[in-house]
Amino acid sequence: MNALVAAARAHGKRTVAHAATSGACTMALSADVDLVTHIPLDRPLDQADIARMAEGEKAVIPTLTMMEGTAAARGVPHAYQTARRNLAALHRAGIPLLAGTDANTQPGAPHHVPHGTSLHHELELLVDAGLTPAEALRSATTVPARVFGLTDRGAIAAGLRADLVLIDGDPLSDIHATRAIHRIWCGGAEHRPA
């Protein structure tokens, strides 16, 4: 893993490591990856790892939707609470959190997460784990744009891509309102909600 990260850096690339256990997370941080995806179910994250993330300006894509489903599929739904507490610890430490679900239809995956609609559930789980609705919305917009260096998107501002979702409701008072999609624009082109 160290060699892969070094090679990626030599080519100006960011690195993302899947780390669904606390040991895998430690290994990824030892290799100095930029982003860790998944939040461990097995045990609380080591405080030294959390400090390393904060000091090294790492980011985490917790995929709470995947972890919740994985815990249930393995017959240990209570393990999700460990993931939830791990996310809360990262949030308290100021680690950038990016909304992501690990949506897939891959045979053999521990849990099949539907594309598209699962993001709403992820935002709800982020709020349930302690983020404010505004922080959860930023985890799906401005934070990923900043972390991935996408300076042309992530916010509503002159000169940026017109990627917009118009919803019926106020997601700042109720994150569930993101499910009431009225209109969608991607790169300025309007698309019909599914």
Domains of the chain, by residue range, sit at 2-151
Q: What is the pTM of this model?
A: 0.94
Task: Say what the pLDDT of residue 109 is.
Answer: 85
Phi, psi of 138 (to 5 degrees): -65, -30
Q: Render pLDDT for 32-80 as a digit per residue (tens, 0 to 9).
A: 999 999 999 999 999 999 999 999 889 999 999 999 999 999 999 999 9
pLDDT tens track for 170-179: 999 999 999 9
Q: Report the C-alpha gap between 191 and 194 in whole angstroms.
A: 9
Domain 2-151: give its CATH architecture: Alpha-Beta Barrel (3.20)
φ, ψ for residue 29 (rounded to 5)? -70, -35
What gap in Å lies between CA 38 and CA 82, rounded to an integer?
12
